[in-house]
């Protein structure tokens, strides 16, 4: 067993390189296994709705230095993020989907790219139509809530120059959360790595000594 803890030699590398056929077969088998896993246990569908958020920096702080502009942008962004996950918004999404609010907040809904520009509202669900409805309802409820806060001047005060509009809420792009290519690539890589490790650690018998 001393060979197991011995440092690798050039002969180990040669032995591994000679096993290219095993590499090829293992990679092919791993790809097939990955594809099979995708179809046997497919990932959830993911839908994406988009809301355009315009902070109107020039109108809000026309003569202020850049440092204050960035502070304003960060502060208002945090407010909008809190609003997107607020109870009122989540309640509207929950009523439209019959999914409890705690589940919506724990992995079903995902907010991406908060800042000035397009905010992406993602929703994951095994049913593509439900995923689309979740994303659309979330985006629209968020935009409606922003408008309501600005009109009512509630405790969560937003700058009046902020403009929010839903740009994508119908015929949303829906696809699997993880594509089949990712499963195939992961299976191929795992099989290739395993075959390489086996080639390094399985020590062939020495025909001369029989050990």
The residues that bridge with 46 in the sheet, in sequence order, are 124, 175
For residue 167, give its domain range. Answer: 45-176
SS3 content of the chain, % helix, strand, coil (to 5): 60, 15, 25
* Least confident interval from 16-20, 62-66, 114-118, 198-202: 62-66
Q: Assign 209 a pLDDT band (cuts: 50, 70, 90).
A: very low
Total domain count for the chain? 2
Q: Assign 116 a pLDDT band (cuts: 50, 70, 90).
A: low
pLDDT at 128 over 90: yes
The answer on 165 and 110 residing in a single domain is yes
Question: Looking at the domain assignment, is residue 207 inside a domain?
Answer: no
The answer on 119 and 107 residing in a single domain is yes
The answer on 77 and 56 residing in a single domain is yes
* Nearest alpha-carbon partner for 132 in 141, 140, 122, 143: 122
Report in angstroms the alpha-carbon separations of 152 from 54, 72, 148, 156, 202.
Answer: 20, 21, 6, 10, 72
Structure pTM? 0.73
Residue pLDDT, tens place only, 59-113: 655 565 566 777 778 888 888 999 999 999 999 999 988 999 999 999 899 998 7
């Amino acid at each position: 067993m001393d060979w197991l803890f011995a440092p690798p030699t050039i002969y180990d590398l040669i032995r591994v390189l000679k096993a290219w056929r095993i590499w090829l077969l293992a990679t092919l088998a791993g790809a097939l296994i990955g594809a099979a896993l995708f179809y046997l246990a497919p990932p959830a569908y993911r839908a994406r709705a988009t809301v355009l958020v315009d902070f109107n920096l020039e109108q809000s702080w026309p003569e202020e230095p850049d440092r204050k502009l960035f502070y304003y942008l960060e502060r208002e962004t945090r407010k909008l993020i809190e609003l997107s996950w607020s109870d009122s918004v989540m309640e509207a999404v929950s009523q439209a989907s019959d999914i409890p609010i705690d589940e919506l907040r724990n992995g079903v809904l995902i907010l991406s790219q908060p800042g000035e520009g397009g905010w992406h509202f993602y929703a994951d669900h095994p049913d593509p139509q439900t995923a689309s409805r979740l994303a659309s309802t979330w985006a629209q409820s968020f935009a409606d809530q922003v408008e309501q806060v600005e009109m009512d001047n509630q405790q969560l005060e937003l700058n009046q120059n902020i403009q929010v509009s839903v740009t994508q809420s119908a015929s949303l792009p829906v696809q699997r959360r993880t594509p089949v290519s990712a499963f195939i690539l992961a299976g191929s890589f795992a099989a290739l790595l395993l075959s390489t490790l086996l080639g390094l650690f399985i020590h062939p018998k020495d025909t001369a000594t029989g050990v």
